[in-house]
Structure 1
Amino acid sequence: MRRKPKSSQLFIRWRIYMVLGSIAAVFLALVGRVAFIQVVDSKTLITQGDMRSVRTEKTQEQRGMITDRNGNELAVSVAVRAVWADPKRIAQTDSLAQTRKWKALAEALHLDPAELQQRISNPKRRFVYLKRQVNPALGHFIQELNLPGVYLKPESRRFYPAGEISAHLVGFTNIDDHGQEGVELAYDKWLTGQSGERVVRKDRLGRTIEDLSVIKQQQSGHDIHLSLDQRIQTLAYREIKREVEASGATSGSVVVIDIHTGEVLAMANSPSFNPNDRSQLQSYRYRNRAVTDAYEPGSTMKPFTVLTALEQGKANRNTIINNNPGYISISGHKVRDDEVLGNMTLTKILERSSNIGAATLAIRTGVMPLLHTYYDVGFGNVLGLGLDGETTGVIPQRRRWSDFELATIAFGYGLTVSPLQLAHAYATLGSGGINRPVSILKVDTPPEGKRVFSEKNARMVLKMLESVVSDDGTGSKAQVPGYQVAGKTGTSRKAHAGGYSDNYVALFAGVAPVTHPRLAISVVINNPQGDHYYGGQVAAPVFAKVMSGSLRYLNIPPDGNGIHLVSLDESSESNNEG
């Protein structure tokens, strides 16, 4: 057997050494490169990676809740989703080729397929909203479609459990969750809170895979507890809506104020709207007429004319004014009563709503004391609720006043007040002459208020106003079984160019129970139609029902004195209400 040459063995060994050396060199090169990347050039590559995956995003703050005084929810935020698209990614992935899925998406979002395709047709755009505030079920369906370039992001939507009942006071938000009307607007910053910021890492599909740090801590919005009592609010809204529809009126408002605290327990308007249905958000519906609209108050001003005369010492309990023969001439104008009563006491002037009696007292008193009385009860000023559009009303300012001009404002013409101002004025009367600030927020400690009238004279006028609600008064339909009620009717003609029209505003305002006044309520019916348009006919019954239910809800004990209480179908009315 022959042996192989030694040179051949050396050649094979050399090749092995060369291969091994090459592998070692490559390995050392890789190790060196890794070391360079990890040690020398690490910051650059980390920066490049972060630019592709690290994002700073805002965290969604939760808007505060609005509740009534008893904790019943009036406005809450619910979790919903927003559907958005990335047109560039849609183009890159040829997502539109999945026609069946896109057709299902358009149908789910109630969009025309052609319109949907047009929205995402520009591949240079990176963000397009397809639908805002979709419910979780629809969001889950869209997620299951798994369309490239279509994504969901969380957001919230405001929900109003009470619907149209409290809509004007609570208000509503826009699609971006910012207040537009009512409390939602007035306390928008307090309810909204502050959004936070955090740094996150996302994958190529935009999903968050790691929370890196918090830049700014999120602060949720604060809750608001309103003074509103939802039971009384529901009652007030039901009764005003029913009367507006029955009388064919243009609108109506009811305001209920707690005399002890100045809190607004109810503020209802008709027509109203459902804040959960944005198709109903027409301006004439969502205006809070109780604070934005002002009317000539008619005879509801007469108690304050009598009170002014008592305060100034120009009249007393035994004052007598004669209205024979049913009219008087003042500055060339005639002031009339619809009935000749002869000698009238102050009680009879209010009971039968005598224009002559009010005018005579005002002329005896003078213009400045009467205007001061009006200002003292809140007329001519905003009451400070903070609601958008709150009117001051109109108290005329003149250098010279004729006796006739003074007479007209004494029985409620030539000035305007809002339903809220009217309720507040009667609350001041019911408190014994103490003007307390009104509030739509729940009050823990009742304010002391400011005394503007003597308690003796305020109580005297309240006792006089009881006769208005008696069987012989103009407000007999305002009687509340078991309770003593003091109030005043009013009917004013609506002004138009050149004078007054044949349209009317019917009003009633009063307090109960008289022995320990707790609630003041004003009712205004704007432009009732038909033959029944007096305050005692259309406004007084609403007052009676709202007052009766409210006193029961608050467990106010009866103080009735056993007088005969007529049914709501009986009527005792005088044209002098205006």
Structure 2
Amino acid sequence: MKVKRKTQKIDPRIPQWRFLTVVGFIILGFIGLVARTAWIQVIDPDRLRLEGDLRSLRTTADEKGRGMITDRNGEQLAVSVPVQAVWADPKAVHESGSLDNDRAWRALAEVLGLDVKELTARIADPRRRFVYLQRQVTPAVAEYVAKLKLGGVYLRRESRRYYPTGEISAHIVGMTNIDGSGIEGVERAFNEWLSSVPSERRVRKDRQGRVIENIGIVKEGKKANNLVLSIDQRLQSLAYRSLKYATEVNKATSGSLVLLDVTTGEVLAMVNTPSYNPNNRGQYQGFRARNRTVTDTYEPGSTVKPLVAVSALENGITNWSEVFDTRPFNIGGKRVTDSHRMAQGSLGDILKFSSNIGMAHIALRMQPQQIIDTLTRFGLGSDSGTGLLGESSGMIPVRRRWSDIERATLGFGYGLRITPLQLASAYATLANKGIRKPVSILKVSSAPQGEQVVSRKDAEAVMLQLEAVVERGGTGTKAEVPGYRVAGKTGTAKVAIAGGYGKDYVGTFAGFAPVSNPRFAMVVIINEPKAGSYYGGSVAGPTFAEVMAGALQLYNVPPDAPQSPELNKPQVNLARQEVKVVPHT
């Protein structure tokens, strides 16, 4: 017998309160979404917009490079070339697991010239986000690094300074550091002029780092300026080669040479030995990088005698016809002697044979301030105005009381210190008949006016008389240039040491050519020669002759030497007066 169960019927209708509750929650949620959207979009949109920008907006810099340096003819002396820097993101390196690729890291260390332990130590800290592995690598190395495909290792564009002329122009051009800032020479002196300021612009990038939107320029940059120097690289090369040979042959400690254009005051060549290669930073040493033509000072010795002669003539102390007793004599326990012995001589003879005795007699007649005033007007003891950093102004003595020996030795170049550039400028002034023009290491568009600093008549008379120094019998015969009339003065001074003078010498030759219409003035200094000869005419004269000959021929200066030594040769007007022999002082 089957028992029938009573089946309870379920009401399919949902209770009213439950339905209303669900609908209410939906409406509330919708209202909340609308309210949130309104808040984000209308009331406070900036915060999320900022959050999005922080994840996608980037500021990039457009590098403009560094200005180029050229010589007066457009020859490149310093240029910037594109290179790459290898850098790493240690955090990305660790997250990518690239450290497991030991072979690739060893290959990277080898190509960068690093020890693999040193390389991995740089990226050991996963909290760091940037570290340089190697800077200024060549394109070939950069390509090799890219092919290694190491996670967290990247390449970055930068530039490197390259100097095509190397050690030849290193002292005047200088060099930059690894960040492209000048540290030597005109690279440092004109660093702001040569430097650029990169433009900054905002871009939007995607998660792969690709630029998807260019927002615009944030900060305008500054374009770098090029620099045109006054030097002629052809003469610079000739001067450096000749000076380097002279330094080595004479076993000298160092050497300096400055070549000026008399008509414009421009520096056409400025070289020193020893030098350095600015392309090889490993060779950089402070003593090699020093531009001795402006930083080092020397006692000029007999090269200052023509300037003292001008001073004596201007102040009426002597004339060309007066004859001096040039036999050795004593002053305050010191004996004044000459290397070229003669019993007596005129001012012309004193200059030709470089008589210390004769010049001492003249100086003892003068007030020291008269000599100092003339030397100062020639530019000795003052900055040349070239703008080269580290330039020394030298030292012109200023005393309330002068002993007789101090006055006498001042007449032949002891007791003062000057730079080679100052001496070259003084001889350019003498060659320009007393007109001093500002010295420039930058190319000038037109010759400056200049200033008449000493008597034109006296400067020209001394200028013409200096030609005898290079002629037969003079002390500077090795400075002769075939076909041209050359004037100049030799100088040989002992090197000052603490408490007096040592055994070493500085050999100098300063002069100009052609005498009929001077175009170039030059100073050559050979410091501490140790090969036997040390006189300025012997150690510095040949270099002067070689470089001056090259300059005259390169600039197509017409020869002015007469066919016969005695024919058509302008003479100094030495109107003979009563001969006067000066007794010993």
CA RMSD of aligned residues (A): 2.4
Whether the 8 Å CA contact 1:198–1:214 is kept in 2: the answer is: yes
Whether the 8 Å CA contact 1:308–1:365 is kept in 2: the answer is: no
Whether the 8 Å CA contact 2:249–2:531 is kept in 1: the answer is: no
Per the TM alignment, residue 322 of structure 1 is displaced from its structure 2 partner at its CA by: 2.0
> What is the match of residue 260 of structure 2?
257
> What is the match of residue 453 of structure 1?
454
Alignment gaps of 5+ in structure 1 = 1-9, 12-20, 566-578
1:557 aligns with 2:561: no
The percentage of counterpart residues that share the same residue type is 52
CA-to-partner distance for each residue in 1:295-334, whole Å, 9 max, x for gaps? 11111011111111111112222121121xx212334432
Correspondence list, 1:346-425, <5 A: 346-425=347-426
1:522 aligned counterpart, secondary structure: strand
CA-to-partner distance for each residue in 1:256-297, whole Å, 9 max, x for gaps? 011111111100001000000001110111000111011111
Per the TM alignment, residue 495 of structure 1 is displaced from its structure 2 partner at its CA by: 1.7
Structure 1 residues 141 and 338: alpha-carbon distance in aligned structure 2, compared to 1, 3 A threshold:
closer
CA-to-partner distance for each residue in 1:227-261, whole Å, 9 max, x for gaps? 11101111110000011011110000000011111
1:179 to 166, 182, 188: 182
Structure 1 residues 100 and 42: alpha-carbon distance in aligned structure 2, compared to 1, 3 A threshold:
farther
Per the TM alignment, residue 212 of structure 1 is displaced from its structure 2 partner at its CA by: 1.7
> What is the match of residue 496 of structure 1?
497
> What is the match of residue 548 of structure 1?
549
Write the distance in 2 (CA, Å) between the matches of 1:284 and 1:453: 37
Correspondence list, 1:236-247, <5 A: 236-247=239-250
> What is the match of residue 302 of structure 1?
305
> What is the match of residue 228 of structure 2?
225
Whether the 8 Å CA contact 1:305–1:370 is kept in 2: the answer is: yes
> What is the match of residue 51 of structure 1?
54
1:204 aligns with 2:215: no
> What is the match of residue 14 of structure 1?
none
2:170 to 159, 167, 173: 167
CA-to-partner distance for each residue in 1:467-498, whole Å, 9 max, x for gaps? 10001100000000111000000111112233
1:131 aligned counterpart, secondary structure: strand
Whether the 8 Å CA contact 2:509–2:523 is kept in 1: the answer is: yes
More displaced stretch, 328-337 vs 279-288: 328-337
Write the distance in 1 (CA, Å) between the matches of 2:178 and 2:554: 37
Structure 1 residues 113 and 412: alpha-carbon distance in aligned structure 2, compared to 1, 3 A threshold:
same
Whether the 8 Å CA contact 2:84–2:158 is kept in 1: the answer is: yes
Correspondence list, 1:499-510, <5 A: 499-510=500-511
1:443 aligns with 2:444: yes
Per the TM alignment, residue 413 of structure 1 is displaced from its structure 2 partner at its CA by: 1.0
Counterpart amino acid of residue 556 in structure 1: V
> What is the match of residue 6 of structure 2?
none
> What is the match of residue 282 of structure 2?
279
Counterpart amino acid of residue 230 in structure 2: S
Per the TM alignment, residue 341 of structure 1 is displaced from its structure 2 partner at its CA by: 2.0
> What is the match of residue 485 of structure 2?
484
More displaced stretch, 256-265 vs 556-565: 556-565
1:363 aligned counterpart, secondary structure: helix
Write the distance in 2 (CA, Å) between the matches of 1:343 and 1:38: 107
1:161 aligned counterpart, secondary structure: coil
Write the distance in 1 (CA, Å) between the matches of 2:475 and 2:409: 20
Counterpart amino acid of residue 183 in structure 2: Q
Structure 1 residues 339 and 197: alpha-carbon distance in aligned structure 2, compared to 1, 3 A threshold:
closer
> What is the match of residue 238 of structure 2?
235
2:383 aligned counterpart, secondary structure: coil
Counterpart amino acid of residue 349 in structure 2: K
Per the TM alignment, residue 225 of structure 1 is displaced from its structure 2 partner at its CA by: 0.5
Whether the 8 Å CA contact 1:264–1:439 is kept in 2: the answer is: yes
Whether the 8 Å CA contact 1:346–1:464 is kept in 2: the answer is: no
Counterpart amino acid of residue 86 in structure 1: D
> What is the match of residue 102 of structure 1?
105
Whether the 8 Å CA contact 1:482–1:558 is kept in 2: the answer is: yes
Structure 1 residues 344 and 119: alpha-carbon distance in aligned structure 2, compared to 1, 3 A threshold:
same
> What is the match of residue 16 of structure 1?
none
More displaced stretch, 262-271 vs 496-505: 496-505
2:517 aligned counterpart, secondary structure: coil
Per the TM alignment, residue 154 of structure 1 is displaced from its structure 2 partner at its CA by: 1.0
> What is the match of residue 92 of structure 2?
89
Write the distance in 2 (CA, Å) between the matches of 1:397 and 1:531: 36
Structure 1 residues 460 and 176: alpha-carbon distance in aligned structure 2, compared to 1, 3 A threshold:
same
Write the distance in 2 (CA, Å) between the matches of 1:219 and 1:449: 35
1:290 to 289, 293, 304: 293
> What is the match of residue 269 of structure 2?
266
> What is the match of residue 136 of structure 1?
139
Write the distance in 1 (CA, Å) between the matches of 2:435 and 2:73: 27
Counterpart amino acid of residue 276 in structure 1: N
Alignment gaps of 5+ in structure 2 = 1-11, 14-22, 567-585
Write the distance in 2 (CA, Å) between the matches of 1:374 and 1:500: 23
> What is the match of residue 72 of structure 1?
75
> What is the match of residue 114 of structure 1?
117
Whether the 8 Å CA contact 1:196–1:219 is kept in 2: the answer is: yes
1:70 aligned counterpart, secondary structure: coil
Write the distance in 2 (CA, Å) between the matches of 1:207 and 1:236: 54
Per the TM alignment, residue 135 of structure 1 is displaced from its structure 2 partner at its CA by: 1.6
Write the distance in 2 (CA, Å) between the matches of 1:127 and 1:297: 56
Counterpart amino acid of residue 404 in structure 1: I
> What is the match of residue 5 of structure 2?
none
More displaced stretch, 537-546 vs 93-102: 93-102
Write the distance in 2 (CA, Å) between the matches of 1:336 and 1:528: 22
Whether the 8 Å CA contact 1:66–1:75 is kept in 2: the answer is: yes
Per the TM alignment, residue 563 of structure 1 is displaced from its structure 2 partner at its CA by: 5.4
Structure 1 residues 296 and 129: alpha-carbon distance in aligned structure 2, compared to 1, 3 A threshold:
same
Per the TM alignment, residue 209 of structure 1 is displaced from its structure 2 partner at its CA by: 4.1
Whether the 8 Å CA contact 2:87–2:133 is kept in 1: the answer is: yes
Counterpart amino acid of residue 200 in structure 1: V
CA-to-partner distance for each residue in 1:185-206, whole Å, 9 max, x for gaps? 0000111032221112233344
Per the TM alignment, residue 214 of structure 1 is displaced from its structure 2 partner at its CA by: 0.6
Write the distance in 1 (CA, Å) between the matches of 2:147 and 2:281: 29
Per the TM alignment, residue 38 of structure 1 is displaced from its structure 2 partner at its CA by: 8.7
Per the TM alignment, residue 75 of structure 1 is displaced from its structure 2 partner at its CA by: 0.4
Structure 1 residues 356 and 154: alpha-carbon distance in aligned structure 2, compared to 1, 3 A threshold:
same
Counterpart amino acid of residue 471 in structure 1: R
1:316 aligns with 2:338: no
Write the distance in 2 (CA, Å) between the matches of 1:290 and 1:95: 55
More displaced stretch, 138-147 vs 476-485: 138-147
Per the TM alignment, residue 339 of structure 1 is displaced from its structure 2 partner at its CA by: 4.1
> What is the match of residue 522 of structure 2?
521
Per the TM alignment, residue 179 of structure 1 is displaced from its structure 2 partner at its CA by: 0.4
Counterpart amino acid of residue 94 in structure 2: A
> What is the match of residue 431 of structure 1?
432
- Kindly tell me the number of residue pairs found equivalent between the two proteins: 543
1:521 aligned counterpart, secondary structure: strand
1:494 aligned counterpart, secondary structure: strand
Counterpart amino acid of residue 539 in structure 1: A
